[in-house]
């Protein structure tokens, strides 16, 4: 099994640093690579608030993922980079394919591409767009996947969709990886898993999952793969999980209290360590390793660690180091 790190990306991501500095992202990426993480990940929002997670509705700034990953790839050369996940509505699919092919060349063929249907309504409002209903968002994502996968190898591609189009579109130079970088989608609904089975290299979901809940979603994915004659094992499975590790139980308690202090108010207020463990990669070194082994038995190839209590938050660099010691081969 391999392990990646969700890098700090938002102005809430590192306590006491607003706005977040690019040098801080670089430092976290370097520490993660030195600790044995095999991939680094960024998400895709114009900005983000944390009301959904119990925090305030204050807007937090964000680094654009494609630009930031391109810069990171030149200073952290030995790990894969990926998007978790790109919002379909933010870019025309053919233009996105062009940018991704260039990024794959800039990073020497280390790119993995995650695409998503979107969930954060303010992103759409900022575009002057009414957020579509879930079914339409999935239809848009399906079309974007078709164009991106069809163009990363260079094209030409003709595609006449309702939301995305391409007419004799070429993408030169093509992505460096052959036949192209892996393309996956993020989510958990039945229709999304149907899209995975029919058109995608992989599937991701995050940030809090129990093995039993994940097995239930795997049953749906397996059925969809069987329907289209695909081996379910051919689906590359990545899983995002909040994570915290301690040398022993006392150290784990200490680190959780430190995380609470570093996390914006409202998110961990009144939350105990015992309750927070559920659905997360949390425990002593031995416990975290055992949990990772259980996920591996479920076919998860890569766990993307969220080393905080919010997406793309990092409580402390020392937590990243210890997670690397516990998880990395």
Q: At what angle do helices 134-151 and 190-199 cross, to 10 degrees?
A: 20
Two structure tokens written together for 124 = 């759409």
Mean of pLDDT values over 253-268: 98
Closest among 214, 213, 45, 2 to 203, alpha carbons compared: 214
Mean of pLDDT values over 197-206: 98
Which is it for the CA torsion 105, 156, 67, 112, positive or negative? negative
Domain 85-202 belongs in CATH node 3.20.20.30: yes
* C-beta neighbour count of 304 within 10 angstroms: 24
Q: How sure is the predictor about 216, in pLDDT bands with cuts at 50, 70 and 90?
A: very high
Residue 50 CB-half CA count within 13 A: 22
C-alpha to C-alpha distance for 124 and 309, rounded to whole angstroms: 25
Is pLDDT above 90 for 328? no
Is pLDDT above 80 for 302? yes
Mean of pLDDT values over 24-43: 98
Burial 270-289 (b: 16+ CB within 10 A, else e): eeebeebbeebbbbbbebbe
Mean pLDDT, all residues of the chain: 97
**Residue 83: per-residue pLDDT:** 98
Q: Long-range contacts: 227-231, Cβ < 8 Å, 24+?
A: 227/197, 228/197, 228/198, 230/197
The percentage of the chain sitting over the pLDDT mark of 90, rounded to a whole number, equals 99
Its CATH class, for the domain covering 1-40+62-76+206-329, is: alpha beta
Supply the DSSP symbol for 49: -
**Residue 317: per-residue pLDDT:** 98
**Residue 217: per-residue pLDDT:** 98
Run of H or E including 222: helix 211-227
**Residue 160: per-residue pLDDT:** 96
**Residue 263: per-residue pLDDT:** 98
Cis ω for the linkage preceding 29 (within 30 of 0)? no
Two structure tokens written together for 306 = 């969220």
**Residue 89: per-residue pLDDT:** 97
Is pLDDT above 80 for 329? no
**Residue 58: per-residue pLDDT:** 97
Q: Taking a C-beta distance cutoff of 8 angstroms, is the pair 203, 240 a contact?
A: no
What tens digit of pLDDT does each residue of 69-126 get? 999 999 999 999 999 999 999 999 999 999 999 999 999 999 999 999 999 999 999 9
What tens digit of pLDDT does each residue of 129-161 get? 999 999 999 999 999 999 999 999 999 999 999
Which is it for the CA torsion 294, 298, 301, 306, positive or negative? negative
Is pLDDT above 80 for 166? yes
pTM score, whole prediction:
0.97
Residue ranges per domain, the chain?
1-40+62-76+206-329, 85-202
* C-beta neighbour count of 210 within 10 angstroms: 11
Residue 204 β-bridge partners: 186, 238
Q: Could you check whether 1-40+62-76+206-329 and 85-202 share the same CATH topology?
A: yes
The percentage of the chain sitting over the pLDDT mark of 70, rounded to a whole number, equals 100
**Residue 90: per-residue pLDDT:** 97
């Amino acid at each position: 099994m391999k392990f990646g790190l969700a890098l700090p990306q938002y102005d809430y991501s590192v306590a006491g640093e607003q706005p977040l500095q690019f040098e801080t992202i670089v430092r976290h990426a370097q520490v993660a690579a030195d600790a044995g993480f095999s991939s680094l990940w960024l998400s895709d929002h114009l900005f983000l608030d944390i009301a959904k997670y119990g925090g305030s509705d204050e807007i937090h700034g964000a680094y654009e993922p494609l630009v930031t990953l391109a810069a990171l790839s030149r200073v952290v050369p030995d790990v894969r980079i990926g998007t978790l996940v790109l919002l379909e509505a933010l870019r025309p699919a053919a233009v996105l394919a062009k940018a991704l092919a260039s990024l794959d060349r800039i990073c020497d063929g280390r790119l993995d591409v995650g695409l998503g249907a979107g969930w954060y309504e303010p992103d759409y409002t900022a575009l002057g767009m009414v957020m579509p209903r879930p079914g339409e968002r999935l239809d848009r994502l399906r079309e974007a996947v078709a164009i991106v996968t069809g163009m990363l190898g260079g094209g030409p591609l003709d595609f006449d969709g309702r939301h995305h189009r391409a007419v004799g579109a070429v993408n030169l130079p093509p992505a460096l990886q052959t036949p192209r970088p892996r393309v996956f989608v993020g989510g958990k609904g039945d229709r999304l898993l149907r899209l995975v089975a029919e058109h995608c290299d992989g599937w991701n979901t995050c940030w809090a999952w129990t093995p039993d809940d994940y097995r239930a979603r795997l049953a749906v994915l397996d059925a969809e793969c069987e329907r289209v004659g695909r081996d379910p094992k051919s689906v590359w499975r990545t899983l995002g999980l909040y994570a915290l590790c301690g040398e022993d139980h006392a150290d784990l308690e200490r680190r959780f209290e430190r995380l609470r202090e570093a996390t914006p108010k409202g998110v961990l207020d009144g939350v105990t360590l015992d309750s927070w463990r559920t659905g997360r990669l949390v425990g002593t070194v031995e416990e975290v390793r055992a949990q990772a082994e259980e996920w591996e038995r479920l076919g998860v190839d890569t766990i993307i660690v969220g080393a905080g209590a919010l997406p793309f938050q990092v409580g402390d660099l020392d937590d990243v180091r210890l997670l690397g010691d516990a998880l990395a081969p």
